[in-house]
Structure 1
């Protein structure tokens, strides 16, 4: 269960050090990241265990995407400037991965004999991998931790 400790501090009259990023649209964002983390993990596991020799680069990229989604989900849930930085790094990396792999998978399809999570900008996932980092970075920009938040 996620608690909004800022509400308790505000009621007590003290300053909120760690504003909750997990409210409203933030909850939806975290939920989508969580679902994508599970989907990418499952996909990469099946690909690597069952057919790794067919497309090792594609399947390794799917596993990398899964790790990125897992870390991004955790970083979005956690509060503090350290986790905020981790969220920025992982979501920025995700955006770069989607753009690079998406473009390469269109320009030179032989590089990826099988799809990755990020192939053709996330076509296999209804382009959610393309839209999600844009929304994630926007959300982070709107919900910066207050100065002095270190947890």
Structure 2
């Protein structure tokens, strides 16, 4: 008889998913209001806020299901995209402030969100490295050893 698998969403993993979920809600709300009320004022900035929202939603879901190989890969892609996005948009918003006259989620490296957008992908990548899903053969071998 094999013992049940240890859940992956405990401790820091659960906190990480909660923070990603909060960022997904915040970015979605912000981009929705910006696009509905003032899209014509700053279409680039507001579109980038919507992209950030989609990335946070995708990353949240991918982290929740990252014990499955496909979702694990999706999590890597989403979080790497997030990191590149916050670094590029953050740098451009400082170097070319006229390009981002209106704030996005990633402007100033996420200053409007207390730099959480800058720090979060590093924690996400660390967690993915530390919690790689085991291959199915490894699961069978571990179950056979426990028997």
Q: TM-score, normalised by structure 1?
A: 0.86
Name the residue aligned to 1:94.
Answer: 82
Name the residue aligned to 2:18.
Answer: 31
Total equivalences in the alignment: 136
RMSD over equivalenced CA pairs, Å: 1.4
**Structure 2 unpaired stretches of 5+:** 138-147
Q: 1:115 aligns with which of 74, 80, 103?
A: 103
C-alpha deviation, 1:14, in angstroms = 5.9
- What is the SS of the residue equivalent to 2:136? coil
- What is the SS of the residue equivalent to 1:67? helix
Q: TM-score, normalised by structure 2?
A: 0.89
- What is the SS of the residue equivalent to 2:71? helix
1:80-114 deviation digits (Å, cap 9, x = unpaired)? 11100000000000000000000000000011110
Name the residue aligned to 2:73.
Answer: 85
Kept in 2: contact 1:21–1:76 (CA 8 A): no
Question: C-alpha separation between the residues in 1 aligned to 2:86 and 2:136?
Answer: 33
Larger Rg: 2
Q: 1:125 aligns with which of 97, 113, 118?
A: 113
**Structure 1 unpaired stretches of 5+:** 1-11
Structure (1/2) with the larger helix percentage: 2
Which structure 1 residue ranges, 4+ long, deviate > 3 Å from structure 2? none
